[in-house]
Structure 1
Amino acid sequence: MFSKSKINEPGSEADKPASAAPTAAPAAPAQSDYKPTAPKPKAPASVLSSDLHVTGNLKTTGDIQVEGTVEGDIRAHLLTIGESATIKGEVTADDVVINGRIVGRVRGLKVRLTSTARVEGDIIHKTIAIESGAHFEGSVQRQDDPLNPGRSTKPGANPAAAKAETA
């Protein structure tokens, strides 16, 4: 009767470890196999070498490191402008690190001008850092959403700025 109760009772304690062990073993590898693919490994930054001259716009959801020359707009997640790089156009990225030269508008959530940066144009940012030695000609404007070009600062902020300019 003891063996009969093991076979006939699906909820018996003898069946639980036997059925749980095979089920748990495949589930564990499936989870461990799934976890590495869930947060996809971050792709390396696309690098534009110092001897490369690009005419046209660049757009990616990834990262770009520019060492050459770009005549056009750039949109990326993380944009690093190398010391030998020159950009002539609008730059838009979540994070912008400028070591080289930009002639045009810069839009970014976090914008950093290093000591070798040369920027001629306006910077629209959420946070900004300018190291000593950086060269900057233009205006700096803080916005909560600097990546959206159609949106200005808070409605109450612009009249105050206009009053300050006229006074």
Structure 2
Amino acid sequence: MGIFSRNHGVKSQSSATTLIAEGCTINGHIRVENRLQIDGHVEGQIEASNQIKISESGYVVGEITTDRLIINGEFEGTCRAAHIEILSHGSVSGTIYSDNLSIETGGKFTGITNPSEKMLSKYQSPDLEGSDIDRLDADPLETGRLDPSHSSQNISDLEDPDSESLDEEKHQPTFINNASR
């Protein structure tokens, strides 16, 4: 059997896992076709089409994009994955974009969670950018949703006759809490 024989015993690419061993440090952009296991230290951008696993000795700072992310070590940064698992020794600090997040007892997460960006794109349209939908929390006077020329008498016409007004003599607007009904 020669070095180039077909029966050499090498795994096919479809079942291979790339390993970054403990004690190894990598800085930069990593892209793998299938699975990646990180036992060492990585700083930068990491992409894996199938799965990334950060083992207990693993430490990652940067941005991760994958289908499944399993964290039993430390991660700081932004991750995007369909499924994210933070195991009992896992620690995540940063921003998560996922629709499926699980944290085992002992696992730690500090940061912000968001729905996956695929879901966001379904609900956000470029033609809505700059419209009032982007300013729902803004001051109504600034967005033009409340016309300051309307007097408090117009507002008080909408009041419940059983509610109390704050200052009837000065015709100050009265806000009514209808939630208790």
Q: TM-score, normalised by structure 1?
A: 0.63
Q: Unaligned 5+ residue runs, structure 1? A: 1-39
The equivalent residue for 1:19 is none
Residue in structure 2 matching 1:123, options 96, 106, 126: 96
Asked if 1:103 corresponds to 2:72, the answer is no
Is the Cα contact below 8 Å between 2:70 and 2:87 reproduced in 1? Answer: yes
Q: Distance in 1 between matches of 2:111 and 2:32?
A: 26
Structure 1 pair 41/60, CA: closer, same or farther in 2 (3 Å)? Answer: closer
Of 71, 90, 107, which residue of structure 1 is paired with 2:63? 90
Of residues 26, 36, 58, the one that matches 1:54 is 26
Return the match for 2:39 from 67, 90, 98.
67
* Alignment length (residue pairs): 118
Find the residue that maps to 2:14 and give its secondary structure: coil
Cα distance, 1:153–1:98 mapped onto 2, change above 3 Å: farther
Matched, 1:133 2:102: no
| 5+ residue gaps, structure 2 | 1-11, 126-132, 138-181
1:55/1:132 CA distance change after superposition, 3 Å: same
CA displacement 1:7-61 (0-9 Å, x = unmatched): xxxxxxxxxxxxxxxxxxxxxxxxxxxxxxxxx7732211110010001110112
Q: Distance in 1 between matches of 2:68 and 2:36?
A: 11
Structure 1's 139 and 152: CA in aligned 2 closer, same or farther, altered over 3 A? farther
The sequence identity of aligned pairs, in percent, is 26
CA-CA distance at 1:152 after TM superposition? 4.7
Tell me how far 1:154 sits from its aligned partner. 2.1
